[in-house]
Amino acid sequence: MTEPPTNGLQFAHDLARLREHLEHAGNEYLPIEHQSAAAAGFLKVINELTTGADPTAAVARAMATYFRVDEAQRAHVAATEARRQREEQDLEAEEEITRKVECPDCGAAAGLRCKGTGASGGLKKKSHRARFRLARQLTDRKGTTS
């Protein structure tokens, strides 16, 4: 079965539009989490083939581009997750110190969670500010008298 003839002007227009979309999606100047490895690889193969490069070499360079962006994204995700875990551990360590005293705001006994710091209390705190400050003052006093 024969293919219909290709309209050269329409092809050039469609190719320019496709390149524009791929350049946006695979833009190396965007933060790595917003780059598309597939778009960067596809753009690379299109650019290589339209300049007359060897098809095998073009595909090899496109795969290298894809894997480079993909690896950078994986490293970014791992670093972000590690940072999030460190922040969570720091928060838990602070909360452990904070819960050693009674809360002057809500009256929560030592060792218990403050009342009323649920979802509206913010992501980074589990106790009232006054309890946090009181615990820090007591900890600082113990540290300076020892």
Residue 13: both structure tokens together:
């227009």
What does pLDDT average to over the chain? 84
For residues 96-104, average pLDDT: 84
pLDDT tens sequence across 16-38: 999 999 999 988 888 888 889 99
Instruction: Report helix, strand or coil for 31.
Output: coil
Residue 123: both structure tokens together:
């992501």
Least Cα distance to 40 among 18, 23, 54 occurs for: 23
Largest CA distance in the chain: 92
Give the residue ranges of DSSP H helices in the chain: 8-25, 37-50, 55-98, 129-145
For residues 101-116, average pLDDT: 81
| Domain limits, the chain | 10-86, 99-146
This model's pTM is above 0.85 = no
Report in angstroms the alpha-carbon separations of 92 from 24, 72, 86, 98, 121.
41, 30, 10, 10, 16
Residue 35 CB partners (closer than 8 Å, separation 6+): 25, 26, 27, 28, 69, 72, 73
- Using pLDDT thresholds of 50, 70 and 90, give the confidence band for residue 130: confident
Percent of the chain with pLDDT over 90: 42
pLDDT tens sequence across 50-96: 999 999 999 999 999 999 999 999 999 999 999 999 988 988 888 88
- Cα radius of gyration (the chain): 28
Percent of the chain with pLDDT over 70: 86
Q: What is the pLDDT of residue 123?
A: 46
